[in-house]
């Protein structure tokens, strides 16, 4: 950096300070181009063509209300009301892939985040919610789509 560029940067710094930017706000102005909003990587890749054969023994848990299976990063459950529902395996709290289904809600075994059947957070750790997916049943084939 030559002295002319240095002087220009100092002037810019003084200009921003006069506008009231200081500390982290000033840093944000300087590095703003590199700042990104916190994207939510909490969800597993959206399921595409994820199907389960409900007559298969590995999916037997889905015969009972409150039962669930995990496949391809998705938790597929039979809700407390008998509806087939699905959500990401990845928790929005700290990204652990530990979501399960408990009776009438999705639950993360890592720290206890809870989400209702629609993915809405039910406690502090679950406040960001989780992605839920659409399910459709044709015969014994359950299809999950984003
Ligand atoms: S990562 Fe799920 S509750 Fe913390």
- pLDDT at residue 35 in the model: 40
| Tens of pLDDT, residues 32-65 | 333 433 344 444 567 887 999 999 999 999 999 9
- Residue 126 Cα to ligand 1 midpoint, Å, equals 8
| Tens of pLDDT, residues 86-103 | 999 999 999 999 999 999
| Tens of pLDDT, residues 101-132 | 999 999 999 999 999 999 999 999 999 999 99
Q: Provide the token pair at 102.
A: 């408990």
What ranges in 32-86 are assigned the alpha helix state H? none
SS3 4: helix
Q: Is there an atom of ligand 1 within 6 Å of 113 CB? A: yes
For residue 71, give the H/E element and its range.
Answer: strand 68-71
Q: Provide the token pair at 121.
A: 């957070």
Domains of the chain are 3-34 (no CATH), 50-145 (2.102.10.10)
CA distance 36 to 61: 41
Q: Is there an atom of ligand 1 within 6 Å of 125 CB? A: yes
């Amino acid at each position: 950096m030559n002295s002319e560029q240095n002087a220009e940067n100092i002037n810019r710094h003084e200009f921003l300070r006069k506008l009231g930017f200081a500390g982290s706000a000033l840093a944000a102005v300087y590095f703003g181009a590199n700042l990104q909003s916190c994207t939510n990587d909490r969800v597993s890749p959206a399921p595409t063509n994820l199907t389960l054969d409900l007559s298969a023994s590995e999916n037997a848990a889905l015969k009972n209300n409150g039962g669930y299976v995990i496949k391809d990063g998705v938790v597929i459950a039979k809700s407390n009301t008998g509806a087939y529902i699905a959500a990401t395996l990845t928790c929005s709290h700290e990204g652990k892939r530990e979501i399960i289904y408990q009776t009438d809600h999705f639950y993360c075994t890592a720290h206890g985040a809870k989400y209702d059947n629609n993915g809405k957070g039910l406690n502090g750790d679950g406040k960001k919610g989780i992605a839920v997916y659409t399910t459709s049943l044709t015969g014994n084939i359950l299809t999950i789509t984003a």
